[in-house]
Structure 1
Amino acid sequence: MSREPEDRMRRRRRTGNGAKAGSADSRRTRRRPVDSSRSADPGGSSGTSSRRSRDSSRSASSASSRPGASRRGTARTAAAARRTGRRRQPLRWPLARAEFRLRAMMVVLAICASVFAGRLVEVQALDTQAYAEKAASRFTSTVELPAERGVLTDSQGTLLATTEDAVMITADPTLVAEDAGVIIDVLAKYIDDPDPEAYRAALTKPDTRYSVIARKVPVATYVKIADELNSLGVYGIFRQTDPIRLYPEGETAAAVLGFVNSEGEGAAGFEMAADENLSGTPGTESYESSSGYRIPLGRNVVEPAVNGVSYELTLDAAIQSATERRLQQAMEENGASSASAVVMNVKTGEIVALANTPGFDPNSPSQANPDDMFNRAVTYAYEPGSTGKVLTMAAAIDSSTISSETRLQIPGSIEAGGSTVTDHWDHGLINLTARGALVKSSNVGMIMINRKLEDGVLRDYMKDFGIGQKTGVEVPGEATGLLPDEETFDSASGDRIAFGQAYSTTAVQMAAAVAGVVNGGVYNPPTLVRSATGPDGQPVEVDHGESRQVVSEETSEAVVDMMTSVVGPETNTWLAAVDGYNTAGKTGTAQKFNTETQKYDSFTTSFVGVAPAEDPTLLTYVVMQDAEGSGTSDAAPPFRDIMEYALPRYGIPPSTKKADYPAIDW
């Protein structure tokens, strides 16, 4: 079998490749049946080409068996392929029958139709409302309707805080950038701004169609600006509602009222404490629109805004202003760093004036000194000093430990808590009544009285008076003060508390405590709110806290009588006597710890008093920090001047009978 190809190749060389190949092809054609699918070639050469291809393959196989014949065989095969015009048959995938293909296509179409039908049912039947709303939302615009902030008035109807219509000026930089210079000139003409050129950055802001130019511009001012720009043919300036909060009384009661921030939210004072009620609830307006424009006669739904609650405060703006001016004068005269005053109606707990100096203008809070924006009468805690002796006397008398005429032999000094305590004047052993110990403001006498009390009694009374507790007055940031707890309270603590040390309080807290003692023993929580009115004109309930009995009425009368002796004609405190009114009061001068020097080298000076003494109605408490003198010299004179203005204004008649001043020694 292996020699047959070699003989064939020899014959081809002798007789010619073409003839022999044709003869061999003819023989193969006769031996093999013709494939009908190949005979369809129009040239009639398909079968011949196939046979020639097979012969060529065999020749190539035979040649490869001889050394050196591989390359010659390959070349001959390629040449033969080119001569015969052989083409590579296309790749064909076998497919199923047409019937099967049709059924598969029908199944696919049925699945698609089911999916579409299910989605259609979901949209048209199950979630009709949701999809309808979604579609409608694409053509609906909603804008917020701001609520009007509630107003604040004083007890006499004077407007303390109100809202004025104003706008925010905005621009579309793509429309106004080329006219920036013209617009700046117009804005500078109507808006008081130290740097009008600052508007240029907003007017030429790139890659945006919205830019804020100015805020809190009165409506009347904007109208003038808009009219002039229209006359110049400038378009692209717009407006948005941006109301201004105004405080017509300026600095008066600024620390009490507080102010709002740029967004119109309460940021300090009562504005902050009552912000939720003052703000009200914004409304909305929804309307159909297209390309940002309202569609005429389209659907329009309005949910009105609910305006804020308005408050009538207990403050009297006239007394408040007079108190602040007098405090400022006293502060400057005595070199004090700050001063506070509380004027209170002891029968109701209403605060008539709550003054702090230095102050600020709430219309321009950004220009104020941050240190002057605190409501010190509420936020600052300190040791009260001798004004606290009023509370010690009330506790001792109410507990039946002493009376106003109890006799005391008071030495020049006394040991307490490991240190020696003396009085503010040098003396040897003196005979004073309890009244005299209060009039003379004897620290040693107060310690002796405290040591007559049972353990813990003084602390319990102090707690009842509200010391070391928030009063609940309606402004933020109220300090708690400090009263030693039962675990740390000991005899040394009691000795120092007796004369106004070892505990801290605020001006409002101390004023309320003394007011409770002198008001027949009834403590009324201090309040700044007289009433509130809703946007519908109906009253809104205000929680004023609950009154409580802290001492008996007899104790109250005894303490007021003793305080009247303090302001007697033969005492140094006559400077506090209110002309025409029997006055009861007590001075205070407390050492103050200086955080800078780490020493007790400054003082808190104060005076608390009520009038008329026979029927206590108004109480005023003046406190000065870092003053150069004493409670008598620093705080008593402004107390007197404030009361002389406030008592007649409230229609409180002068005293008709002069007070008695019993002896203070024995």
Structure 2
Amino acid sequence: MKWLVVLVVCATIFSSGRLIQIQGLDPQAYAAQAASLVKRSQPLPAVRGTITDRNGQVLAESSPAVDITADPTATGPHATTIAGILATHLGGSPADYLEPLTRPNTRYVMIKRQVPAHTYDLIRADLATAGDDKQYAGGIWTSTNSIRTYPGGSVASNVVGVLKQDDDGVYRSGAYGFEYARDTQLAGKDGREVYQASPAGTRIPLGTNEITPAENGTSYQLTLDSELQWTTEQSLKKVVDSSKAHFGYAIVMNVKTGEILAMANYPSFDASDLKKAKADDMGNRAISDSLEPGSVEKVLTFAAMADGGWITPDTEVHVPASLKSADLTITDSEDHGDLRLTATGVLAQSSNIGTVQLARQMPKADLISHLQNFGLGRKTGVELPGEASGWAPKTTLPDYSRDQVAFGQGLSVTGLQLASAVAGILNDGVYNTPTIVASATDANGKTVAVDRPQPRRVISEQASQMVTQMMEAVTGNGGTGAQMTLPGYRSVGKTATAQRYDQTSGKYVGYTAGYIGAAPAEDPQILTYVVVDNPVNGHYGSTVAGPAYKEIMQYALPRYGVLPSTTKAPVAKLDW
């Protein structure tokens, strides 16, 4: 009894001292330590903004999904049955799931991230009805983690882009295209929930519960038209495959606004099946690849000369069979004797010699100044990543370089730069910065301001009318684009059969075939530019790229309510 009394007294003294230490000497530190032992925290993921086309067709959206986790102390006794159910719905074999479901010394294992909600519903239903035991689902837990889906698959995939896997295996941040360019805005801002729970993980009913709500991402409506985009992609695929080319791209623009209605690349990839995607096919060559533009550049040269008063459509030019330029000899694509062409005839027949002779009349600084004003040598500012600047020569370039630049060699441009420049020339001389964004809204449906550069004049309205008239002659009798006439519409165009500069060898190897055009000629509304790189079956722009241009335009014009022409094209004077 004495020892028992001593033991009780000692325990009482020790407990009292401990209570004095905890509650009297340093209560705040111990309270904080106690709170930390029951404190739990979990993120509240923001919902990524939706991307749609101009008509509201969904191009990318976040669908409900969950991360599936397990508590091996609860799932271990039923691991074989649970593993079989998981394998049925998540793929793989039951053996893949047995190890995590029975892992010792832990109460948390990740089974799979971003499982579609409807898939988990099937798993939960099977777990609930497995055999006679109704407790199989007790050790399976979930947390919200939405998944990104691309309903269109390959439609506009190079423009819209995809997400990439983070270090934890979750597809969360943008990797390509618009998903990357506007990643921060689309992603929004995650929230967080802080609560109190027992060591076993059960929430304490009256414990602290603090929630910082997530801020969902901004949604964007693009200027793309999904149906026109699909048509453009199919037309492009046909000409690339039939010509056995390396690749191709096509751009369809609204001449009046600079809106991009379609931007196709081929080869491409399926955004909903990234396992089959090749890295080389996931970029956007229409803005990232620079090329020597070839004869489409002549449109810009003629616009500069018309704006400076150096030519009119009827300016007379004597075109010899060849022309010396330093130690080089300039020729045309087809041999000919001496010709007497008008400026219209030079453009219509795409004469390199005639273009150089006309360009030599104007100061080099004037030509280069115009090219820079058309946007060459700098990014257009379109809302997409990976845009190249191209290269425009300086005003101090030597005479032989000026000769090359005049007909499309000795400088580099992107497809979008060139399409935007020609659109500005045809738009009464007013350039619109190309855009892919139609509008944006926040998570509450409120409009988000979208910056728009102001249009700028690049040539006079009179010069625009002259160039438009000369480009219409390209599609008339005697023009290189005579096969590109559009039934019911007067149209303007320009062929391009450019020697292809190979950066690896430093030499010209093969060709780049292109065709650019717009309609109706009397008031251009829609422009299409098709580029095919290194075709094997043929190399002329009219025969390789032209068929895709024609097919695209025949679909786009009536789709956008562009009325057929009611007047006949004027008779062009090509020679004298």
Normalising to structure 1: TM-score of the pair?
0.78
Q: Does 1:150 align with 2:58?
A: no
C-alpha distance in 1 between matches for 2:181 and 2:432: 21
Q: Does 1:223 align with 2:121?
A: yes
- Per the alignment, residue 638 of structure 1 pairs with 548
Q: Does 1:404 align with 2:313?
A: yes
Could you tell me which amino acid in structure 2 is paired with residue 253 of structure 1?
A
SS in 1 for 2:211: strand
C-alpha distance in 1 between matches for 2:322 and 2:30: 89
Question: How many residue pairs were aligned?
Answer: 543
Q: Does 1:432 align with 2:330?
A: no
- Per the alignment, residue 649 of structure 1 pairs with 559
- Select the residue among 463, 477, 491 that pairs with 2:372: 463
Distance change in 2, residues 1:196/1:370 (3 Å): farther
Distance change in 2, residues 1:613/1:160 (3 Å): same
Distance change in 2, residues 1:296/1:497 (3 Å): same
User: How big is each residue's C-alpha offset from its partner over 1:109-152, in whole Å with a ceiling of 9 and x where there is no partner?
Assistant: xxxxxxx99x989x78xxx7x99767644433222111111111
- Per the alignment, residue 337 of structure 1 pairs with 246
- Select the residue among 242, 247, 250 that pairs with 2:150: 247
C-alpha distance in 2 between matches for 1:531 and 1:132: 52
C-alpha distance in 1 between matches for 2:60 and 2:496: 35
Could you tell me which amino acid in structure 1 is paired with residue 176 of structure 2?
A
Could you tell me which amino acid in structure 1 is paired with residue 475 of structure 2?
V
Contact between 1:166 and 1:243, CA under 8 Å: does it hold in 2?
yes
Contact between 1:323 and 1:642, CA under 8 Å: does it hold in 2?
yes
- Per the alignment, residue 213 of structure 2 pairs with 304
C-alpha distance in 1 between matches for 2:502 and 2:98: 50
C-alpha distance in 2 between matches for 1:164 and 1:540: 23
Out of 521-530 and 207-216, give the one that drifted further.
207-216
Where structure 2 has 5 or more consecutive residues not aligned to the other structure, the ranges are 1-19, 165-169
Please report how far the alpha carbon of residue 237 of structure 1 lies from its aligned counterpart in structure 2 after TM superposition.
2.2
Distance change in 2, residues 1:197/1:479 (3 Å): farther
- Select the residue among 529, 548, 561 that pairs with 2:437: 529
Q: Does 1:212 align with 2:122?
A: no
Q: Does 1:237 align with 2:140?
A: yes
Distance change in 2, residues 1:202/1:383 (3 Å): farther
C-alpha distance in 1 between matches for 2:93 and 2:245: 38
Contact between 2:314 and 2:573, CA under 8 Å: does it hold in 1?
no
- Per the alignment, residue 375 of structure 1 pairs with 284
- Per the alignment, residue 412 of structure 2 pairs with 504
C-alpha distance in 2 between matches for 1:210 and 1:299: 23
Distance change in 2, residues 1:446/1:241 (3 Å): same
Distance change in 2, residues 1:131/1:580 (3 Å): farther
Structure showing the higher helix proportion among its residues: 1
Contact between 2:87 and 2:97, CA under 8 Å: does it hold in 1?
no
Could you tell me which amino acid in structure 2 is paired with residue 654 of structure 1?
P
- Select the residue among 267, 290, 294 that pairs with 1:385: 294
User: How big is each residue's C-alpha offset from its partner over 1:297-340, in whole Å with a ceiling of 9 and x where there is no partner?
Assistant: 33322222111111110000000000001110111111111110
Could you tell me which amino acid in structure 2 is paired with residue 243 of structure 1?
S
User: How big is each residue's C-alpha offset from its partner over 1:259-284, in whole Å with a ceiling of 9 and x where there is no partner?
Assistant: 11233211111011111111111112
- Select the residue among 576, 579, 582 that pairs with 2:487: 579
The higher radius of gyration belongs to: 1
- Per the alignment, residue 473 of structure 1 pairs with 382
Contact between 2:39 and 2:196, CA under 8 Å: does it hold in 1?
yes
- Per the alignment, residue 325 of structure 2 pairs with 416
User: How big is each residue's C-alpha offset from its partner over 1:85-118, in whole Å with a ceiling of 9 and x where there is no partner?
Assistant: xxxxxxxxxxxxxxxxxxxxxxxxxxxxxxx99x
Out of 474-483 and 226-235, give the one that drifted further.
226-235
Distance change in 2, residues 1:204/1:443 (3 Å): farther
- Per the alignment, residue 66 of structure 1 pairs with none
Distance change in 2, residues 1:569/1:223 (3 Å): same
- Per the alignment, residue 58 of structure 1 pairs with none
Where structure 1 has 5 or more consecutive residues not aligned to the other structure, the ranges are 1-115
Distance change in 2, residues 1:571/1:214 (3 Å): same
Contact between 1:379 and 1:506, CA under 8 Å: does it hold in 2?
yes
User: How big is each residue's C-alpha offset from its partner over 1:445-486, in whole Å with a ceiling of 9 and x where there is no partner?
Assistant: 111112101132111111000111101111111111111234
Could you tell me which amino acid in structure 1 is paired with residue 548 of structure 2?
P
SS in 2 for 1:509: helix
User: How big is each residue's C-alpha offset from its partner over 1:401-450, in whole Å with a ceiling of 9 and x where there is no partner?
Assistant: 11121100011111224211100111122100111110110111111112
Distance change in 2, residues 1:447/1:133 (3 Å): farther
SS in 1 for 2:258: coil
Contact between 1:575 and 1:640, CA under 8 Å: does it hold in 2?
no
C-alpha distance in 2 between matches for 1:373 and 1:194: 28
Please report how far the alpha carbon of residue 575 of structure 1 lies from its aligned counterpart in structure 2 after TM superposition.
2.1
User: How big is each residue's C-alpha offset from its partner over 1:236-265, in whole Å with a ceiling of 9 and x where there is no partner?
Assistant: 222222211111111100000001123321
SS in 2 for 1:409: strand
Distance change in 2, residues 1:288/1:180 (3 Å): closer
C-alpha distance in 1 between matches for 2:355 and 2:95: 68
Please report how far the alpha carbon of residue 570 of structure 1 lies from its aligned counterpart in structure 2 after TM superposition.
4.1
C-alpha distance in 1 between matches for 2:287 and 2:274: 20
Could you tell me which amino acid in structure 1 is paired with residue 273 of structure 2?
S
Q: Does 1:443 align with 2:352?
A: yes
User: How big is each residue's C-alpha offset from its partner over 1:473-517, in whole Å with a ceiling of 9 and x where there is no partner?
Assistant: 111111111112345x22222111100011111111110011111
- Select the residue among 315, 320, 336 that pairs with 2:229: 320
- Per the alignment, residue 269 of structure 2 pairs with 360
Q: Does 1:184 align with 2:83?
A: yes
C-alpha distance in 2 between matches for 1:346 and 1:633: 25
C-alpha distance in 1 between matches for 2:34 and 2:469: 81
Please report how far the alpha carbon of residue 596 of structure 1 lies from its aligned counterpart in structure 2 after TM superposition.
6.0
Contact between 1:270 and 1:476, CA under 8 Å: does it hold in 2?
yes
Contact between 1:564 and 1:661, CA under 8 Å: does it hold in 2?
no
Could you tell me which amino acid in structure 2 is paired with residue 640 of structure 1?
K
Q: Does 1:659 align with 2:569?
A: yes
Distance change in 2, residues 1:227/1:499 (3 Å): same
Out of 432-441 and 571-580, give the one that drifted further.
571-580
SS in 1 for 2:85: helix
Could you tell me which amino acid in structure 2 is paired with residue 359 of structure 1?
S
